[in-house]
Structure 1
Amino acid sequence: MKRVFDWLHGTTFKLLSLAVVIFLVWGTLAPLETIIWWLSQDEESMNPDASQPDATSDDDSSTSEASVNCYVVFLPGVGSYDADNLTEEESNFVDRVIETHPYCVSVRDVFPYSAANEGLVGERILAPVWNVIRQSDGLAYTVINIRNIWRMALSADPRYGPVYNRGIASAIIDRMNAASPMPPANQRINAIVMSTSGGAQVALGAVPYLDDWLNAQVYAISIGGVFSGRDGFEQADGVYHLYGTEDWIDDIGWIIFPSRWRWVFGSPFNRARRQGRYQAIETGPHEHDGDRGYFGEETVDDGTKYIDLTLEKLNALPIWSVNNHSTKQE
């Protein structure tokens, strides 16, 4: 007992207590950035009703642009610090997806941990600090993870989530247009939002707004993602969660979010699961990241690369053709 008493009065415990307090205060202040951004927006930017242009008889889109009917949006995990900041493995993965599906274009410059789509090393007051941290290894870099985890929590929060997720959806549409101009509003498109880690929650949070603003089939693909069971399930044409047997991070979602517990029968997640609009698909012995992660180049016993196992499951999903039939809830 004396050891415990001494430890409670020791330096280690005091430092740990200070870290916990800072973590909680940081979380309390996390919504401020989103609230300030929201107050600076006008009606048009918050409600982009005309995301796709009206159809005209003299549409002069090029052949390559006109052939695009699919947008693959990739949202990275909580280790990201800027828009267009995919790792080499993630970029290779997205490249291979687009090679397999030539009518798709990739959108990889959305930062899912800022409603304004502003990276940590952009035009921010603390940009120099974040720039130093991002170049650090180990403990220092976890500060970025913690900061982004709080933004993921904002996305899942019913108080702040609607504003935050609306901002992300607006950024997604803006970058979709930048990747390839949107086809006319009478042309249905495929909007496939892929994500990993905490980006999965943000992706699902953006789905209702994408569904409202676009004439599109909207699919959410989680690759080892963490997400609640509240957002996006009723508006998406399909939600698919790819998971590896050696990935324990993706288990966090069903532990901390009651809306994913099986006995919460009326949650959007459980309704989608019972109706077949949500599917969890095992990809293989993937870990959450690294060489044996979903985008890893190491091989399993039969010589197949981990990235190829992921691509095999992804390409087999019934999401790649555009049709006028919707499976979402009205």
Structure 2
Amino acid sequence: MTEVPIFVLVLGPILLAEALLARYEVMAYTAGWGTPTTELPHGMPYARGADPDRPPDAYLVYLDGIGKRRFHDTRDGGQLVQAVIAGAPELRVLGQVQPYSPLAAPLVNRPVWEWMRHHIGLLLFLHNVMQVFVAADRRYRPLYNRAVGAQIAGHLRLAGYQSGSGTPVVLLSYSGGAQVATGAVEQLHTRLRAPLLLITLGGFHNGANDLTHAQRLYQLTSDSDWIERVATWMFPQRWRLFRRSGWNRAARTGKIITHRLDPATHLGRRSYISPEARLPDGRTYLAHTTDTVIALIRTHCAGAPTPTHDSSPESPPEPTMTPRAHN
């Protein structure tokens, strides 16, 4: 028997099982079978950056991509978080939220997944990919949004956030984290009455979530990011035809502003958060992304006028509508 059939026979049933079980955690949360945890590993703070004894200019919650499997950030996501903390010491930054777990349970603490990490590492990514699609599914989306939105609100409170204080909350999301960030808006507004700023980096999301209570959404993207482009074609709510989707309603009110980070890619050596690839001006892609994120947050927090870039949503039937020249 060739290697391909063996691969299919071994991995196929596992993929099927994962697809069927992906909904379990959100249903367990809804039914009360499990209690989301807010306890962090010993010695890990609920927030980093700004001095906890003085109010920060803003709280930033980083929602990592599908590689997230522990309280600590992934390698690449961690580099971005550290760069933001170093460049903007006025921010209080949270990176421990589990965007792909309604029960706030890291995969790294689950015995079965620990075994898989050593034997079939690909499945760790598959699990989180499946969770993105569960979060996007109209049958489970409200439940998923409620669960992870409550998780984010809980961690913000533990990090010192005062409900109704008016301190801005920034949701910085990478890849599939954008589905969770857009879904958390309603819960954060209800629970904290927080002014919300969203920044998506290569955001993979379905565009269905209501962004009414978000003040602004900055879409950081690149013409070379084919993964984000797939989302704009895959999900009808991202098409202009679906005028009543959350994404299109926000776009018509001018809330969505696109910034180009060309020629960065979604993954790999030329990714948005690569510390090695460089622009003609000598900055690394990581530095470029960090500078852009910090500048947007500072402009927003200062209440300065926002530059008007192309805020049009993507539309598969009309490729020419792709946003152009930014930054």
Shift of 1:280: 2.2
2:231 and 2:146 map into 1 onto residues whose CA distance is 22
Residue 205 of structure 2: SS of its match in structure 1?
A: coil
Tell me what 1:153 maps to. Answer: 133
Shift of 1:17: 7.2
1:275 and 1:311 map into 2 onto residues whose CA distance is 27
Task: Could you tell me which runs of 5 or more consecutive residues in structure 2 were left unpaired when the two chains were aligned.
Answer: 37-50, 304-327
Alignment of 1:244-323 (within 5 A): 244-298=222-276, 299-317=278-296, 320-321=300-301
Tell me what 1:102 maps to. Answer: 89
1:145 and 1:266 map into 2 onto residues whose CA distance is 32
1:258 and 1:219 map into 2 onto residues whose CA distance is 24
2:103 and 2:217 map into 1 onto residues whose CA distance is 25
Task: Could you tell me which runs of 5 or more consecutive residues in structure 1 were left unpaired when the two chains were aligned.
Answer: 1-8, 46-62, 324-330
Distance 1:12 1:290, change over 3 A: closer
Tell me what 1:129 maps to. Answer: 112
Match of 2:148 among 158, 161, 168: 168
TM-score after normalising by structure 2: 0.79
Counterpart code for 1:39: A
Counterpart code for 2:134: L
- Residue 62 of structure 2 contacts residue 173 of structure 2 at CA under 8 Å; is this kept in 1? yes
1:169-188: CA deviation from partner (whole Å, max 9, x where unpaired): 1111222233x3123x4421
Shift of 1:99: 3.3
2:2 and 2:271 map into 1 onto residues whose CA distance is 40
1:237-280: CA deviation from partner (whole Å, max 9, x where unpaired): 11111112322111121111100012222222112112211122
Alignment of 1:52-91 (within 5 A): 64-87=52-75, 89-91=76-78
1:141 and 1:247 map into 2 onto residues whose CA distance is 24
Distance 1:177 1:248, change over 3 A: same
Tell me what 1:205 maps to. Answer: 183
2:179 and 2:71 map into 1 onto residues whose CA distance is 17
2:112 and 2:18 map into 1 onto residues whose CA distance is 16
2:115 and 2:7 map into 1 onto residues whose CA distance is 23
Tell me what 2:204 maps to. Answer: 226
State whether structure 2 residue 175 is matched by structure 1 residue 192.
no
State whether structure 2 residue 18 is matched by structure 1 residue 40.
no
Residue 296 of structure 1: SS of its match in structure 2?
A: coil
Residue 134 of structure 1: SS of its match in structure 2?
A: helix
- Residue 145 of structure 2 contacts residue 183 of structure 2 at CA under 8 Å; is this kept in 1? yes
- Residue 67 of structure 2 contacts residue 74 of structure 2 at CA under 8 Å; is this kept in 1? no
1:217 and 1:120 map into 2 onto residues whose CA distance is 31
Counterpart code for 1:27: A
2:196 and 2:302 map into 1 onto residues whose CA distance is 10
- Residue 221 of structure 2 contacts residue 258 of structure 2 at CA under 8 Å; is this kept in 1? yes
1:94-137: CA deviation from partner (whole Å, max 9, x where unpaired): 22323333332010101111001101122xxxx2332233346x
1:7-53: CA deviation from partner (whole Å, max 9, x where unpaired): xx9884586477556434432332122211222279x99xxxxxxxx
Tell me what 2:15 maps to. Answer: 23
TM-score after normalising by structure 1: 0.78
Tell me what 1:60 maps to. Answer: none
> What is the RMSD computed on CA atoms of the aligned residues?
2.8
1:131 and 1:25 map into 2 onto residues whose CA distance is 17
1:228 and 1:272 map into 2 onto residues whose CA distance is 14
- Residue 188 of structure 1 contacts residue 322 of structure 1 at CA under 8 Å; is this kept in 2? no
- Residue 164 of structure 2 contacts residue 192 of structure 2 at CA under 8 Å; is this kept in 1? no
